[in-house]
Structure 1
Amino acid sequence: MDGIPFDLLLRWTHFAAGIIWVGHNYSSVIQRPTWQPLAAADLSDDTSPRFQALLNREHGFFRWASVVAWCAGILMLQQRGWLAGALGLQGALAPIGVGTYIGTLMMANVWLVLWPHQQKVLGLKPATVEERLRCSRITHLSSRTNTMLSIPLLFFMASSSHGGLLAG
């Protein structure tokens, strides 16, 4: 595939997936600005409105959007010949490299912390009510961590194109 159309496809894929991924975190902050612990009744009664609200939320889109955004970003860096320099935090590629590491950490957080605990909260994996309550707090903190990490992530992504002063 010719370089320019492929680059444009990667950029838009990275951009759209990033909006879905990070947008999910921001909308969560807006919808639930403070953490409200679940009650045991919320988890023991699968017909409770609160549990149904949790169950009806789409979790797959934002999880897979993290993979798509990350892969598109890595492919863009590779296609331009910048991947090694970015990962090595070399010169003008250091800011995008820091952004890459933050994005990698965020994706790992989604798949290795948030999702395994969320599966228990939603009843997709067996867990006691007490464990599900504990896991609900962990998923909240994991999600908020990614929301906070998205701020420096976006800064370093933008500074890689517009902030030559950082690496200068």
Structure 2
Amino acid sequence: MAGLLANFRNTMIVSFVLSLILVGGYAAHNGGLDTTFWTAAFRWLHTFFGILWIGLLYYFNFVQIRKMPEIPAELKPGVTKYIAPEALFWFRYAALATWVMGVILAISRGYFVQAMTLGAMDGFVVPQHTFIGVGMWLATIMFFNVWVFIWPAQKIALGIVEGDADAKAAAGRKAMLFSRTNTLLSVPMLVTMTMNQTMFG
């Protein structure tokens, strides 16, 4: 068992195999692969990728950005050359997968257009469409920030793309500010994503 857990790839393979067995159990209980089943499957994937995305966002803001100034200069390359690029890979693709799964989930549940118009399509009389729409727009802004502002700036700040010391400093600050913007937006976004399901089903 220790050999399995010592290898991250094998740990995740076994985790997903166990998950797929459970997914198969839900399919069998449901009596087939109908819309209800696929909605549930997309919600699982949306949640998994969302935890990965927001978890890394919180790691960057709760830990890395705050503690970097305290790290001795000779140790910082350990973070900037090894940890940050790897974390940013998972961060940006988790953001992409979360957003895509969320769109698929909204379409499969039949409220994508209503939510994206914040309930205007219903004359603003269906509050769940307005609330989940706010959450979807917040998540969309956050996803946009990751790919359009944070990742391009981080490539300069980390030296993946060439830039002088001033350019790296400016890029690092830009990445931090957009990352903090996403942190600010994340908590109200999570309110809508979690409370909507309980309040309105």
Corresponding residue for residue 97 of structure 2 = 68
1:24 maps to 2:56: yes
Residues 155 and 142 of structure 1, relative CA distance in 2, 3 Å threshold: same
Does residue 116 in structure 1 map to residue 116 in structure 2? no
Greater RCO structure (CA 8 Å; 6+ sep): 1
Q: What's the counterpart of residue 86 of structure 1?
A: 115
Tell me the CA shift for residue 87 of structure 1: 1.0
Q: Residue type matched to 1:116 in 2?
A: P
Q: Which residue matches 1:107?
A: 143
Q: Tell me which residue corresponds to 1:53.
A: 79
CA distance in 2, matches of 1:93, 1:35: 40
- Runs of 4+ in structure 1 off by over 4 angstroms are 35-38
- How far is the alpha carbon of 1:161 from its aligned partner? 2.0
Q: TM-score, structure 2 length as denominator?
A: 0.72
d(CA) in 1 for partners of 2:75, 2:141: 33
How far residue 158 of structure 1 moved from its aligned partner, in angstroms, is: 2.0
Q: Percent same amino acid at aligned positions?
A: 29
Give the drift of 1:70: 0.5
Per the alignment, residue 191 of structure 2 pairs with 155
Please provide the CA RMSD for this pair: 2.2
Aligned residue identity for 1:53: V
* Distance (whole Å) between structure 1 residues aligned to residue 96 and residue 116 of structure 2: 18
Q: Which runs of 5+ in 2 are unaligned?
A: 1-32, 120-125
Shift of 1:30: 2.7
Aligned equivalents of 2:62, 2:117: Cα separation in 1: 36
Q: Who wins on radius of gyration, i.e. which is larger?
A: 2
Residue identity matched to 2:80 = L
In the alignment, the residues of structure 2 paired with residue 20 and residue 9 of structure 1 have an alpha-carbon distance, to the nearest angstrom, of 17
What is the TM-score of this pair, normalised by structure 1?
Answer: 0.85
Q: Where does the alignment leave 5 or more consecutive residues of structure 1 unmatched?
A: 43-47
Question: How many residues were matched structurally?
Answer: 158
Given residue 184 of structure 2, which amino acid in structure 1 is its aligned partner? M
In structure 1, what is the Cα distance between the partners aligned to 2:176 and 2:164? Answer: 18
The within-5 A match list for 1:3-18 is 3-18=35-50
Query: Structure 1's 34 and 53: CA in aligned 2 closer, same or farther, altered over 3 A?
Result: closer
